[in-house]
Each structure stands twice: as C-alpha cells, then as structure tokens.
A and B are shown apart, each in its own frame.
Chain A
Amino acid sequence: MSGFGGFVLRRGIGTVITLFAISVIVYVVFFVTPGNVAQITCGPRCSPEQVHQVAQQLRLDDPLYLRYWHFLQGILVGQDYSTGTSVEHCSAPCLGLSYQGDQQVTQLILAKLPVSLSLVFGAMVLWLILGVGTGVLSAWRRGRFTERLLTGITLAGVATPVFVIGLVLMIVVCGQLQLLPFPQYVSLTDDPEQWAWNLLLPWLSLALIEAAAFARLTRASMLETLAEDHIRTFRAYGVGERSIIGRHALRGAFAPIIALNANNVGSAVGGAVLTETLFGLPGIGQELVHAVNVVDLPVVVGMVLVIGFFVVIANAVADVLYAVADRRVVLA
C-alpha cells in the first residue's frame, strides 16, 4: 500500500468511516433534541390524530435503529416514496426526503451547493490576496503605514462578527454610495458578470474574517525562512531583497498556506451560515440552520454529511499539495 493509489484508498476508507460516525452522531443528537417533529410538520393546530398520521407518514414512530437502517438503505439502493398521487423513486445515493417540503434531500443539496461554492471560492481568492499580501508586508516592510493599515484591517476582521461588517458594508456601499447592487444570488452560468458583482460584498466580508489568519501564518513562515542561514548567504552574495522575498521566503510559506486554505475552504462550505443569512444567499449553511430549527432530520444529516465530506476532501487535497510542495513528505 504505497504511492498515490494507496493514499487514495486509505483516505477513502477513512472518509467513509468518518462520515458514517458523523451520521450516527447526528441521528442520536437529533433524536434527543426537543421538538415534536410531527407536530411541527403538521402545523400547530393539528389534532392528535392528524399528528399521528403525519408521524406514520414520516416513519417517526419507528425505533431509532430502524430509521437509521432505512436511511442507510436509501443511500445504498435508493428509496421509493409517494407524492399522494404517484410513486416516485429517489435513486441511490438517496439521502431521504425533507420532512417539511417532501423534497429529495439530494436535490436540495445540489440546488444549494453552487451558491455555497461560489461564495467560498470567490472569498478564498480575496482572503489569499489580502492575507498573504498583509503577511508579506508585515514580514518585509514592518512598521510602514500600509502594513499597519492592512494588519489593522485584518485584525478588525477577526474581531468583528460578519453580521456587523457585512451589514455596515452593505448599508454604506450599496445603500449610501450606491456603488454596488444589494447582493442577490445570480447563477454563474446565467450571467457571470452579475454573479461576480452580486457576490463581491459577501466575498469581501467572508475574506476579511479569514485574512488575518493567513497574514499571521505567512508572516511567521517568512520570518522563519528569512532567519535561515542560506538566506543570509544569499544576502551576503548580494541577491536582491525582492528576489529573496519572492523566490525564497514566500516559497517557504507556500505549504502551510495551502494547508490552512484547504481547511478553511472545506469548513466554509457549510460554515458560512451568518454570511449566507445576512446577504440572503441560499446556500448550504443557511438551509442547515433552518433545518435544525424545524428538526428536519433528513436535511440536517444530509447537509452535515456533505460538509463533512468537503472538510475531509479538503484535508486530503491539502496533504497532496503539501507533498507536491515538499517532495520529502510521504503521503500517509
């Protein structure tokens, strides 16, 4: 078991185990969470008989292990369900049906995922530029005005919750200065230009939160490299400062930046709840919070699994990139 194939296999098995454990935990946690699911689904004024019918409809009366088994079956072989007038098939891997809207969870996720991915990858570009840029400046040109300003901005980004930054940005930029439209998700495939304009503020808000970590990481890595003997030797030989920074110091920071970035991207796919909520972006995070509040277990499990999947994959990608960046690392 060596080489890339072995790595993929081991990571694959690890991923399946992790996701399995996550789904079990979510099932158990939500089983003990208060909230009468059938009553919530049926409506507040439903009679006990109606609630009972809905509970049967949703298989809520089954014991927990049976419900979980049904869920696993759906993933492996799919699941049939009734719309009342006809029988539909939800093909494998079927994550079940939403309690609230009778939608297939897989379809729900597919509808929300592009939004979350658009948000996260766009923000990623900005946080890398802002974070790494600030980091380079603060390692290289420490104490200058631009450096101090950028460091201040990134730290303010960490210190201020996104619902404050985002709202103030929106009111100023969209409301008062009218430089940008109020964000409203437009699909990338429909209109790439509108997609970017509408997402600019959400990207910026999310990036401001993340940038500080990159700035600090970049700075730390660069300082470390700059302190090394070979850099001194380069300097002694008169190699230009720009070249030292660009070719050597920054390269040293490359691997950890990739690692941090992969992790952030992975968890932001479902974790940017507040950004999505504030800007009205119909992404995974927003839907998940909604599902938690109405105890819509199939949606919660499905979305948590997708998020877990992205985190695990992002970690694996980080390891691969880490190995590419530093050939001495063996993938394990």
Chain B
Amino acid sequence: MSEALVASQAAGTDISVPAGSGARQFWRRLRAQRAALVAAVVVALLVLVALAAPLLTAIEGQDPFTYHPSLIDSARGGVPTGSFGGITGGHWLGVEPQTGRDLFARLAYGARVSLGVALGATVVQVTIGVVIGVAAALGSRWVDQLLSRITDIIVAMPLMIMSLALLAIVPSSFPRPLLVALVIGLIAWGNIAKIVRAQTLTLKELDYVSAARLSGWGTWRIARRELLPGLAAPVITYAALLVPINISTEAALSFLGVGVKPPTPSWGQMLTAADVWYQAAPQYLLLPAGALFVTVLALTVLGDGIRTALDPRAASRLRIGTGRKREAKADASGKKVAVDASGKNFAADADSGRSTLDPSIKTIKSADANGVKDANGEKEDPA
C-alpha cells in the first residue's frame, strides 16, 4: 500500500472516522501496508535466526568457532578449496578463508551480536535522549540551557574518536559486545535528545497538556501521562533509523580495530575481514553485506510503516516543527475531534497554531531547526 496514499488521505479520512482502541487502530493501519508487513516478517525472521543460532547451527552440524584447515588452500593465502567458497551439504554457505570456519554459523551468530549491539545501543540512546529531551523542554530555563548545552557538546564530539578512546580505557574483562553497545549509546544520543526536546515543546503548547497543567498536575505526571504517548511516533520512527546506523557504527569500529573481538563473530567484523577477499572469495563479502542490506531495508520500510500507522496525518513526524503547523492546518479544515484510546480529547483549536504566531511557537520552530537536521547526524562517523 502506498504510503503516499495514506498520507494524502490522512488529513481528510482518518480523523473523521471515529477511532477504536489506539493499539487496535495501530495494528489495523500497519496491516493495511503490505510492504511494512513483509518488512515486519523479515525483521522477525532475522531476530529468529539470531535467537535460534545455536539450534540452526546444530541442525547444520557446525559451530562458528571450529577451524577446518582441510577445507582451505594454505599455500594460496587460505582460500577455500571447494567450489563457490566451499559450499557443501555440511557447510551451507561455505567456509571462511584462512580458517575454514563455517560461514553460515558465523553469519547466524553474527546476527546475534550485530542486532544485539545495535538494539542495545538504540535502547540506551532512546532512553537518554527521551529523559534529557523531556527534562530540557519541561524544566526551568536554566535546566533547559544546561541540558541543551550538554547535548550540543555531545553532538559536536566526533563519535569515532571518543569511541576509540573509551574502548581503550575500559578493562578487557568487560563483555565486549555490551561495551560496544554502551559506548555507542552513551556517545550518540545528542540528536534524539534534540528531537525529543523540540517535539515536547510542541506538545507542551497543545491544549490538553496546558489544561492538565492548569488543573495542577505535576510536571512528571504530565510527562508520563500526556507527553510520552505523543512522543512515541517520532521516537519509534527515529529509532528504526538508528538501528541500521548503529550496525554500521559497529562495523566501522571493527574496521578501526576496536569493535567486538574475535572469535566472537559480528557482521561488521566479517565485512571488515572480507572486503579484501572480494575478488578471491566473493561470497565471503557478499554474505554479511547482503545480510546487512536486507536488515536495513526491512527496518527502513518497517519504520515507515510504523510511523504511518502511529500518526497518519503527519507522515513525517521527524519534521516536528512543521508537524505542529500542519496539524493546525488540518484541523482548520474543519475536522475537529479525535478521541484516543484513553478517551482524552485532544482537539487542537483551528487557529491557535496558524494565524497567531505567538513567541512560543517561534521558539519551537527555531528549536526544530536543530531537531530536524538530525535524521542521520550520527551516520557521519562511520563514513
């Protein structure tokens, strides 16, 4: 199903339809998108392969660590002797040059590490980003200044360099995949914090939040009950983008020699080792590269789908600032009421956002200038 269609119809159709349960509505919208469904299945499969790696390799009769010197030609640099990189019934995807280790087993176990590191790092980034972003938006001017400044510093620090330094400091006994996930997570949360802050500022001005505040709710209660649901769409969407970025970051760290350590396999490490082999043993490179491509593609499509399903009106909640404007415009066209799962009325007044350019809106927009540009800020470093 074309997302463009959803988007182009969103303002008119969806809101006019009285919504059912939020979760049910979400699933309904997600199911309506075939591409997103396929992507979801692919992602599920990848996760399944990662989780079931020991089982799958047991079926194959291999493990990712055993050397098979008899399957490689030592005199020719250790290139696999069999055809197509040594593919046989016993080695479904052939063997690794130089060691003869089973490639299927390494790919499957590599999925655990790569997806695990990427997801772990994303969780850390999202957690820090949401906490800092919400706190900055809701806190006093000084809290906002302090947190925003810290965020600026984090964004301006070169990710690779700090990773190199940090990974050298921590003792080698610390579990490496966890460490890599933590380091990426702890260094690269600046952009998501900016996005969350901008989005929170937007939400804060919405009537239902103002109303809650007027009725004397505490800041944290407002944050928990009113803001977090509104943040879900942009955060989930951005997180879907972060996972592949984090996979590439892990690969880049491996390339620089500070990633996950052998013999633990990871896709990034396989790519790093395999790139020079692309002429002599192409499948060695194509396997992890293909796996990574499928993952990124699936996550991207799924991310689009989730975004559309969560918030069909603003097809891109990443562009928070304009989101606020569009929302107001959409409402201006006369459709007034939408009821979410918990029955809260969050109708926005038609004119509040559009015609009265009050100072708060201006501030928000300027904040967005920071928020918007972050769609892939971190990706720079793996370049």
Asked if A and B touch directly (CB within 8 angstroms), the answer is yes
Secondary structure type dominating chain B contacts: helix
Is B160 among interface residues, defined by CB-CB distance under 8 A?
yes
Asked if B8 is an interface residue, CB under 8 A from chain A, the answer is yes
A227 and B158 within 8 A (CB): no
Knowing A226-B8, A304-B157, A307-B156 touch, does A33 contact B373 (C-beta < 8 A)?
A: no
Closest residue of B by beta carbon distance from A288: B161
CB pair A312–B152 under 8 Å, yes or no, is yes
B193 interface residue per 8 A CB criterion = no
Residue with the greatest number of chain A CB neighbours at <10 A, chosen from B158, B271, B322 = B158
Q: Mark B229-257, 1 if CB is under 8 A from A, else 0.
A: 00000000000000011001001100110
Q: Do the beta carbons of A161 and B252 come within 8 Å of each other?
A: yes
B20-28, B79-87, B132-140, B294-302 - interface stretch: B294-302
For chain A, the count of residues having a C-beta within 8 Å of the partner chain is 82
The reply to whether the CB of A196 lies closer than 8 angstroms to some CB of chain B is no
Of all chain B residues, which has the CB nearest A293? B164
- On chain A, the residues within 8 Å of B7 by CB distance are 223-224, 226-227
Stretch from A18-26, A65-73, A75-83, A94-102 at the B interface:
A18-26
With a cutoff of 8 Å between Cβ atoms, the chain A residues found around residue B161 in the complex are: 270, 288-289, 292, 300, 304
Interface of A is mostly: helix
Name the contact of A318 in the complex, choosing from B162, B248, B268, B373 (C-beta under 8 A). Answer: B373
Find out whether the CB atom of A171 lies under 8 angstroms from the CB atom of B278. Answer: yes
Of the candidate stretches B46-54, B57-65, B337-345, B359-367, the one touching chain A is B359-367
Contacts A210-B376, A312-B152 given: A156-B366 contact, CB under 8 Å? no
Q: Mark A219-237, 1 if CB is under 8 A from B, else 0.
A: 0110110111100000000
- CB of A216 within 8 A of CB of B169, answer no
Complex contact B369–A260 (CB within 8 A): no
Contact present for B162 and A29 (CB under 8 Å) = yes
Q: Report whether B383 and A220 are in contact in the complex, using a CB–CB cutoff of 8 Å.
A: no
A-chain residues with CB within 8 Å of residue B149 when the two chains form the complex: 14, 17-18, 21
- Whether A33 pairs with B168 at a CB distance below 8 angstroms is yes
Rounded to whole angstroms, the CA-CA distance of A326 and B364 in the bound complex is 13
| Interface residues of A, Cβ cutoff 8 Å to B | 14, 17-19, 21-22, 25, 29-30, 32-35, 139, 142-143, 155-156, 158-164, 167-168, 171, 206, 209-210, 212-213, 216-217, 220-221, 223-224, 226-229, 252, 255-256, 259-264, 267-268, 270-275, 285, 288-289, 292-293, 300, 304, 307-308, 311-312, 315, 318-319, 322-323, 326, 328-332
